[in-house]
A = this chain, B = another copy of it.
Amino acid sequence: MNTLISNFKDNMERTLSKDISIQIGGSVMIKGWLHKKRLLGGLAFINVRDRSGLTQIVVEDKDEVEKLRGLQIGTVLEVTGEVVKEERAPGGAELHQPKITVLVPVEEAPAIEIDKPLDHKPENLDTLFEYRTVGLRNTQEAAIFKIRGAITRAIRNHFHENGFTEIQTPKLLASATEGGAEVFKLDYFGQEATLAQSPQFYKQMMVGVFERVYEIAPVYRAEPSATTRHMTEYISVDGEMGFVDIDDIKVFLSGLITSAVDAAWGEYDVELKRWNATKPVLTDVFPSIPMSEIHELYEKATKDKIADLKDLTPSEEKWICDYAKKKFGSEAVFVTDWPASEMKFYHKAQADKPEFADRFDLLFRGVEIITGSMRENRYEVVLKQLIEKAKGNPEDPGFKYFLMAMQAGMPAHGGFGMGLERLTQKIIGLSNVKEATLFPRDINRLTP
């Protein structure tokens, strides 16, 4: 009898939690983690978690209940049982008459409770991240990263379907691309290297090769303050296209964001609802509003006076997103006509309005998630701007190869960079970008 059961179990294929309801009336074997345990009289009600979800199990047999004594959440189990229809159980079925095998016992209670939603209040985030490696076992917490995975896949598909070639460019550089203080430096066999703040020059250079390129990879900013919007390491979604104008980039990006939103809601609407998320309202091509118009509208509506007309304040960003939602039916809006005075040396001014950069920011749900622009593609002009505007040395290795590519013939081109964490954050409705990051990095946190 024992031999029989043992053989039976050995030969039985594991069933995932999500699939047990297909086998109502039959027997299944599941494997996973003890996720919840309630003792009621002589009975035990347990949940077992695997990669697909939870299975509810009713344990009545005294010997089986005994096996669970002293075992903590996280214990690794194999359970064979009869599948019984039960509407209130996850997946519409539960296991009865279980035979339990403890694969790996856990005798200490987990560092934080994982069977109810974790506290995301700002003052609790430090605890959340300190115990991240256990806290992510909470299914609602893990859902953030499954949603992020769906978003990432949708973005890659959108690039691929539009003829982009995926590139992977080095993060170890001889000198800082964007300049400035916010750069990490390291010793590279006796010479100084920096960590890439963006793949900016590489993606532009590769337009000369592949015409349309994208990269999804980490970038590094030695951001000396802890905010809800910034990290020292994040995943940048970078795209760059040749033979386009700024409107082509806007059309492309409207499609990209829409694909990401549709994928998230298509695959994870239950999980999104559990986060109280609402599906973003978006138009086919997102509306564009010139910056000066935003200042005017905002000042008129709020009676606030804007001091710096060259940028938007965080309040304006929030306000204009609400405005665009009401007025145009879009929770994403392009801010256009940035002053040319703020351009970087590789940026391009508008042909017909040279006082403005040929640039946009994309605001989504109150925050900037993308900056995009056309680049100066004429070698002589970009060389001049590097020397005069940026006081850069054309022989500096950070510029030399970039200029080499420009000199070899570059079409009109432009592109954008987007923080993957910010997009994920805003789709789910989290209040801090770090909540959308498995192991966030900021000035105070280099672990886990």
Contacts and interface: CB of A to CB of B under 8 A. Distances in A.
A390 interface: no
B137 A408 contact: yes
Interface residues of A, number: 92
Contact of A404 (B106, B111, B146, B153): B111
Given A404-B133, A448-B401, A411 B103 contact: yes
Contact of A186 (B146, B184, B443): B184
B412 A103 contact: yes
B446 A133 contact: no
A408 B106 contact: yes
Contact of A165 (B145, B173, B397, B407): B145
A76 interface: yes
A133 B171 contact: no
A446 B193 contact: yes
Nearest to A397: B447
Nearest to A130: B401
B165 A146 contact: yes
A117 interface: no
A389 interface: no
A386 interface: no
A174 B446 contact: yes
A422 interface: no
B443 A189 contact: yes
A113 interface: no
A178 B187 CA distance: 19
Residue among A73, A165, A420 having the largest count of chain B Cβ atoms under 10 Å: A165
Contacts of A187: 184-186
Interface in A75-99: 75-76
Interface stretch (A4-12, A211-219, A313-321, A363-371): A211-219
Interface in A35-53: 50-52
A295 B441 CA distance: 47
A354 interface: no
Contacts of A52: 163
26 contacts: A33-B411, A51-B165, A104-B377, A104-B378, A104-B409, A110-B408, A133-B208, A133-B408, A134-B404, A137-B209, A142-B210, A145-B165, A145-B167, A149-B165, A168-B235, A168-B420, A169-B438, A171-B171, A185-B186, A185-B187, A188-B232, A189-B224, A193-B446, A202-B438, A205-B448, A217-B218
Interface of A: 14, 31, 33-34, 50-52, 72-76, 103-104, 106, 108, 110-111, 131-134, 136-137, 142, 145-146, 149, 152-153, 156, 160, 163, 165-174, 184-189, 191, 193, 195, 202, 205-206, 208-212, 217-218, 220, 222, 224, 232-233, 235, 242-243, 377-378, 397, 400-402, 404-405, 407-412, 420, 438-439, 441, 443, 446-448
Given A111-B408, A131-B404, A145-B167, 7 more contacts: A50-B243, A104-B377, A104-B411, A152-B166, A168-B420, A397-B446, A401-B448
**Interchain residue pairs A-B with the least CB separation, the first 10:** A74-B409, A401-B448, A51-B211, A186-B186, A106-B409, A136-B209, A133-B405, A397-B447, A74-B408, A133-B205
